[in-house]
Amino acid sequence: MKTFTGPQPGRSGGVAAPTPATVPHVTERVIVDEVGIRTEDGDHSFGWPWPEIQHVSVSALPPEEHKFLYFEVTHVSGEFMEVGETVDGFRAAVQDIAARAGRAAPDLDALRASDPMVEIWPG
């Protein structure tokens, strides 16, 4: 056990300035491919294959002047994941999911928080 013994010869007794830490910037992104839907964030990945995806819906959260878009992926078990518009690839993912379902992609800019969720998967 280390104990404080008071000032040491040759030391000023002051507190050293902290050294800046380098924190890597990791960007979360969403990937839609022939396997399914997943998010990746650095070394981590989470998602489900198409046969296990029950449905995908897109919606907007209030307030209207600062709405936040997201889509919800529901697994057959009832679990779900939400992917927000700040995730890289969000808009392309919505278009790709709708296209895979044979649906027209919703106009995300026209989507209002008061609108019901728009289902984009399955077809």
- pLDDT 10s digit of each residue in the chain, 123 long? 444 445 555 555 555 566 666 656 668 999 999 999 999 998 899 999 999 999 999 999 999 889 999 999 999 999 999 999 999 999 999 999 999 999 999 999 999 999 999 999 998
pTM of the predicted protein model: 0.78
Amino acid at 62: P
Q: By residue range, what is the domain housing residue 38?
A: 28-121
Domain membership flag for residue 5: no
Do the domain assignments include residue 55?
Answer: yes
Is 72 inside a domain boundary?
yes
In a domain, 15, yes or no: no
12 in any annotated domain = no
d(CA 83, CA 103): 20
- Encoded tokens for 22: 């380098």
Q: Which residue has the tokens 């997943």?
A: 38
Number of domains in the chain: 1
Is residue 1 in some structural domain? no
**Residue 67, domain member (yes or no):** yes
